[in-house]
Amino acid sequence: MIPLAVGTLLGTLLILATEAPLALANVVAGVINALAMPFVALTTSYLYFDARARLELETEGEPGELPPEISLSAP
């Protein structure tokens, strides 16, 4: 997953491309990873439940004709 690698890559770029102290690069990488983890968790959960719902609904078959939401005939 890309969000997992962003913090590490940014920390590596700070080490190699700047004169910033190593502690700063470590803090930046840690903060980026901490901000990305909820996104990764939500995305993983969404993908799991989407795949599970598709698998469970696959066995049900679609109805031949959908019922109308509003009846046009008078009672």
pLDDT band of 13, cuts 50, 70, 90? confident
pTM of the entire predicted model: 0.58
d(CA 22, CA 6): 17
pLDDT of residue 46: 94
Separation of alpha carbons 21 and 24, rounded Å: 5
Q: Which tens digits make up the pLDDT trace of 27-73?
A: 988 898 899 889 989 999 999 999 988 887 766 566 566 666 766 66
Tell whether 39 is covered by a domain.
Answer: yes
DSSP calls for 8-67: HHHHHHHHHHS---HHHHHHHHHHHHHHHHHHHHHHHHHHHHHHHHHHHHHTT---SSPP
**Mean pLDDT to the nearest integer, 16-23:** 88
For residue 66, being part of any structural domain is answered with no
Question: Can you state the percent helix, strand and coil of the chain, rounding each to 5?
Answer: 70, 0, 30
The confidence score (pLDDT) of residue 1 equals 65
- Domain span at residue 44 reads 2-56
Structurally, the chain folds into a number of domains equal to: 1
